[in-house]
Chain A
Amino acid sequence: MSTDSTRIPLDHIRNFSIVAHIDHGKSTLADRLIQTCGGLEAREMSEQVLDNMDIEKERGITIKAQTVRLKYKANNGEDYILNLIDTPGHVDFTYEVSRSLSACEGSLLVVDASQGVEAQTLANVYQAIDNNHEIVTVLNKVDLPAAEPDRVKEQIEEVIGIDASEAVLISAKTGLGIPDVLEAIVHKLPAPKSEKGADAPLKALLVDSWYDTYLGVIVLVRILDGVLRKGMTIRMMGTDAKYGVERVGVITPKMVNVEELGPGEIGFITASIKEVADTRVGDTITEDKRPTDKALPGFKPAQPVVFCGLFPVDAADFEDLRAAMGKLRLNDASFSFEMESSAALGFGFRCGFLGLLHLEIIQERLEREFNLDLVATAPSVVYKIRMTDGTERELHNPADMPDVVKIDEIHEPWIKATIMTPDDYLGSILKLCQDRRGIQTDLSYVGARAMVSYELPLNEVVFDFYDRLKSISKGYASFDYNLADYREGDLVKLNILVNGDPVDALSILVHRSAADRRGRAMCEKLKELIPPHMFQIPIQAAIGGKVIARETVRALRKDVTAKCYGGDATRKRKLLEKQKEGKKRMRQFGKVEIPQEAFIAALKMEEN
């Protein structure tokens, strides 16, 4: 690590984010900016430098906000410091977006010049506007034959209502227009302001924190007033914890030590903080002996909205799963877990997530990075139940549903959803939303694209809504949502019984109107998934004592090897060993064994 100790004047700093819909080229643009400003040598550039995790690179999504400090010599001959905070584009990580935006004064709005505005473009740009950001519009992929920059400019003005006449036309892939982007950052985005200046008591925003194996907890800070120096004793105003600053630095994206960070700057510190959980994102950092008088308003911590059970396929992996979850949580405080035991799946954890993608990502990371084999139960939202005795409780797990006679009302979360789609698919999408109890609030057209707003119960969305939307629109529709409120719903607990025994892992809370359909679908699916047993097995869906759907798994008629002599013993034994291994993965239900695969498939059920 080298040392860099020049204090930069405020008007030579620009702090900005990039907001975009997924796949519109946000990360590629970030790479290009880093490369152009010489943050990394060509040989150090790997694709999408800021997406560190394998999953981020593979899926082309950003999960964790990343920051980088660029040095840029502008055409006017002046040197500028540009701090870029790359934000996740997905709805699940809205909270990451909002806190990143609050550390900046401006945003680049990146829109694909052929695809135009998408649902996430809207959600993210509105957040930027809410944060009083100046916005520079960038049209990416203008080199593609399908690019229609003029049409997209019009669309941006019409849909978002911002002036796009001076949009910068670029191709992040080829590098076209990148210098214009840098000039626009310098000249169109405002410099940060410091209310009280460098001599005032320290006031810094805790933007983010993460765990690094070598350095421990790293805290990303944005300085508002005063100066943060190495050796200083700081105080987190929210938690009242004190730490000695061990290291101050900036990310270029290499970690470079500096002596101090002044007003307007973004950088990192380390301070012997043990756990990420000890830091509260949005907290105000000040100097212990000369504190600032007023803390920043802070952020609301992100609340899990989707819950599911995660169970190890092999019960012996339970402790490993606990350890792995603990490690992931080090860097992701928005993910919660507590122990759960299921008759169907054994010991596991009830986990809370910010959304379905978050769930998928955590599960994938657990499986991939920790080599665990997991089963996930159907995602559930957080219900609020008012009991007849007047008390209220939250329900994260259908299995914990209290006795219906003691329930007065069940309330479920609703969302406001925005869907943008080519006109051709609108009919099917409207039908999908109606089927899912949606209430249409708006429908407008921008050229051949429709923008439709719906209020939907989240419970209907966590159940394969996004997959269905993608499939009926052939991937062209985009979707974004935010949580709206809780409303009373006619919800019932749907039990699935195999051979007469309820399978706790398959019980779900559904709206009464959907119970028949869901129950039948689950029974049919299970009938396909449960291999024939030695005797026939009834599969039933029931609400309380009332069976609403039934299927039967037929009995195995014939399963015997015709020929088996001395030479076959080895082969047959190896087969038997595999079968025995397979049985370990099966779960016993009374007299029935269900292969784990059947659960996994049933739990991933998609309707066609």
Chain B
Amino acid sequence: MLGADGHILPDTGDPGFGVYLHWPFCAAKCPYCDFNSHVRHQPVDQPRFVAAFLKEMAAAREMTGPRTVTSIFIGGGTPSLMQPATVEAILNGVAQTWHLPAGIEITLEANPSSVEAERFRGYRAAGVNRVSMGVQALNDKDLKFLGRLHNVEEALTAIRLAREIFPRMSFDLIYARPGQTVEEWSRELVEAINLAVDHLSLYQLTIEEGTPFFGLHKAGKFTVPDGDQSAALYEATQEITARHGMPAYEVSNHAVPGAESRHNLTYWRYGDYAGIGPGAHGRISRGTQKIATATERNPEAWLSLVEARGHGMIDHELLGYEEQADELLLMGLRLREGVDLARWQALSGRDPDPKREQLLLDHGFIERLGNSRLRCTPSGMLILDSVVADLAC
């Protein structure tokens, strides 16, 4: 579909069906993280959680009907705190619930600490074929600032091990750190590219409400790069990754063409996904309608719900056309490939406001591809949230 841009996993029009599984526990909370993660000082009763995951999958199956799974993602939290047997039991559960073709992408998020790396072979044996590691920085000072439990040496060991064990591997870095210069970041990024196989997630540090960083930042304990500086860092990131053959295929995700995360593409192409586990979200199509699901966030409360009534779902919203159109646009424009406007028009029942669209075109923030595809240009990607708000009107 994209032609000139390389051979990214083609958008066949079927965005697939992903299964997301959330393991909500962490050894420690990172000060920037606003994900659903919980620290428990008592050992977690993993078999009990496995049973609950299986039960909830059965409930999800009632909603989805028979489907062919195109990817599985075990996220968290810190899924690398799970016993390999736990992962195996859960993956077996997925296979018993839906049709699971051989060879599909099965990703597990892992922390690069030495203890967790020891379990990598077990995960591979359980069926995981891709790990995504939270490396976050390649210097100890910044790792400490980010509240990570590992050091650079451990990270390098874990990366080496993961490359050896898993067919596919990706890791995350957080940039736009306090005081970070374009030069410093460029050096670190090149180093990361050399360590990477074919995929990298590069996120700018965002100060989220409700995190320790939020309070510290507000109190002036540290500052983050301003708009100009973070734009410069972002642009450098685009340039360097492209030069090294790992261009961005999404705002913060870079891959050698063809090595994109199949699972995440399902989100951005606005496909269906089942969300299993505490605080997991799902999108399930029902004819022309879509159901948005969300489960209880607290792990123990979720467990009780599942055990009592078979699922931990606490939100179940039937999305109207306009809502679906909004989600399609805000997810799809994150992708380099853009969105299929015909699909958006079918949902929203209208064309984008011609005046707004023309203005965005005139300023070079968006471009049309072929008849009905619309995407952000690199400069438009920098102000994507404004572009989406304009087009969604």
- Taking Cβ atoms with an 8 Å cutoff, the residues of A that contact B are 533-535, 556-567, 569-570, 572-573, 576-577, 579-580, 583, 591
| Complex Cα–Cα for A583 and B356 (A) | 12
27 example contacts (A-B, Cβ-Cβ < 8 A) are as follows A534-B360, A556-B383, A557-B228, A557-B231, A558-B227, A558-B231, A558-B234, A560-B251, A560-B381, A561-B384, A562-B205, A565-B267, A566-B275, A566-B281, A566-B282, A567-B20, A567-B281, A569-B283, A569-B292, A569-B330, A570-B292, A570-B317, A576-B330, A576-B388, A576-B389, A580-B389, A580-B392
A591 to B281, CA, bound (A): 38
| CB-CB contacts below 8 Å: B232-290 with A | 234, 251-252, 264, 267, 273, 275, 279-283
Residue contact B227 to A560, C-beta cutoff 8 Å: no
- In the bound assembly, the distance between CA atoms of A576 and B206 in angstroms comes to 18
In the bound complex, residues from chain A placing their C-beta under 8 Å from that of B264 are 565
Q: Which A residues are CB-close (under 8 A) to B87?
A: none
Partner of B386, one of A559, A563, A565, A566: A559
Q: Select which of B205, B228, B326 is within 8 A of A576 by beta carbon.
A: B326
Task: List CB contacts (< 8 Å) of B314-336 with chain A.
Answer: 317, 323, 326-327, 330-331, 334
Q: Are A560 and B385 in contact (CB under 8 A)?
A: yes
Residue in B203, B363, B387 whose beta carbon sits within 8 Å of that of A562 in the complex: B203
* Residue contact B392 to A567, C-beta cutoff 8 Å: no
Q: Do A557 and B280 touch (CB < 8 A)?
A: no
B81 at interface, CB cutoff 8 A: no
Contacts A534-B365, A567-B279, A567-B280 given; indicate if A576 touches B392 (C-beta within 8 A).
Answer: yes
Task: Given A566-B282, A570-B292, output 20 extra A-B contacts at Cβ < 8 Å.
Answer: A535-B363, A556-B227, A557-B228, A557-B382, A557-B383, A559-B384, A560-B381, A560-B385, A561-B206, A563-B203, A567-B275, A569-B283, A569-B292, A569-B327, A569-B330, A570-B281, A570-B294, A573-B327, A576-B330, A576-B392
In the complex, whether B111 has a CB less than 8 A from a CB of chain A is no
CB under 8 Å from chain A, chain B span 292-350: 292, 294, 317, 323, 326-327, 330-331, 334
In the assembled complex, the Cα of A566 lies from the Cα of B271 at a distance in Å of: 10
A559 proximity list for chain B (CB < 8 A): 382-386
Which residues of B have CB within 8 Å of A533?
Answer: 386
B331 in contact with A564 (CB, 8 Å)? yes
B359 within 8 A of A: yes
- A556, B282: Cα distance in complex, Å: 33
- Select from chain A the residue with minimum beta-carbon distance to B384: A560
**B20-A557 in contact (CB<8A):** no
Report yes or no: B393 in contact with A562, Cβ–Cβ below 8 A.
no
Give Cα A307 to B379, complex, Å.
46
Return the 6 tightest CB-CB contacts between A and B, nearest first: A557-B227, A560-B384, A567-B281, A579-B389, A558-B231, A557-B231
Residues A583 and B393 in contact, CB atoms below 8 Å apart: yes
* Contact of B231 with A562 in the complex, beta carbons under 8 Å: no
A579–B384 alpha-carbon span in the complex (Å): 13
Would A573 and B280 count as touching, CB distance under 8 A? no
The minimal Cβ–Cβ distance linking A573 to chain B, given in whole angstroms, is 5
Closest to A583 in B: B393
Q: Which chain B residues lie closer than 8 Å to A556 at the CB level?
A: 227, 383, 386
Pair B387/A569 contact, Cβ less than 8 Å: no
Task: Point out the residues of chain A lying under 8 angstroms from B180, CB to CB.
Answer: none
CB closest chain-B residue, reference A592: B359
User: Is A558 within 8 A of B382, CB to CB?
Assistant: yes
Q: What residues of chain B lie closer than 8 Å to A562, measured between beta carbons?
A: 203-206, 251-252
Q: Which residues of A contact B326 (CB under 8 A)?
A: 573, 576-577
Question: Does B230 interact with chain A (Cβ within 8 Å)?
Answer: yes
- Set of chain A residues within 8 Å of B389, measured between Cβ atoms: 576, 579-580, 583
Residue of A nearest to B381 (CB): A560
Given the interface contacts A559-B385, A560-B251, A560-B382, does A569 sit within 8 Å of B228 by beta carbon?
A: no
In angstroms, Cα B327 to Cα A366, docked, is: 38
Complex: A579 Cα to B275 Cα, angstroms = 27
CB distance from A498 to the nearest CB of B (A): 15
Interchain CA distance A108-B363 in the complex, whole Å = 70
User: Nearest chain B CB to A315's CB is how many angstroms away?
Assistant: 15
In-complex Cβ contact of B383 among A534, A565, A569, A583 (8 A): A534
Please tell me if the beta carbons of A566 and B20 are within 8 angstroms of each other in the complex. yes
Known contacts A576-B330, A583-B393; decide if A564 and B251 are in contact (CB<8 Å).
yes
Closest to B271 in A: A566
Q: Which residue of A lies closest to B322 (CB)?
A: A577
Task: Please name all residues of chain B whose beta carbon is closer than 8 Å to the beta carbon of A569 when the two chains form the complex.
Answer: 267, 281, 283, 292, 327, 330-331
State the Cβ distance, B265 to closest chain A Cβ, in Å: 11
Q: How far apart are the CA atoms of A392 and B371 in the complex, in Å?
A: 61
Residues of A within 8 A of B317 (CB): 570
Q: Smallest CB–CB gap between A596 and chain B, Å?
A: 15
Residues of A within 8 A of B283 (CB): 566, 569
User: Of all chain A residues, which has the CB nearest B331?
Assistant: A569
Task: With a 10 A CB-CB cut-off, give which of A558, A559, A561, A570 has the most chain B CB atoms.
Answer: A558
Q: Chain B, 209-238, contact with A by CB distance < 8 Å: what is the 0/1 string? A: 000000000000000000110110010000
Give every chain A residue within 8 A of B234 (Cβ-Cβ): 558
Enumerate chain B residues within 8 angstroms of A534, measured Cβ to Cβ.
Answer: 360, 363, 365, 383, 386-387, 390
> Cα distance A566–B331 when bound, in Å?
9
Q: Which residue of A lies closest to B380 (CB)?
A: A534
CA distance A445 to B368 in the complex (A): 76
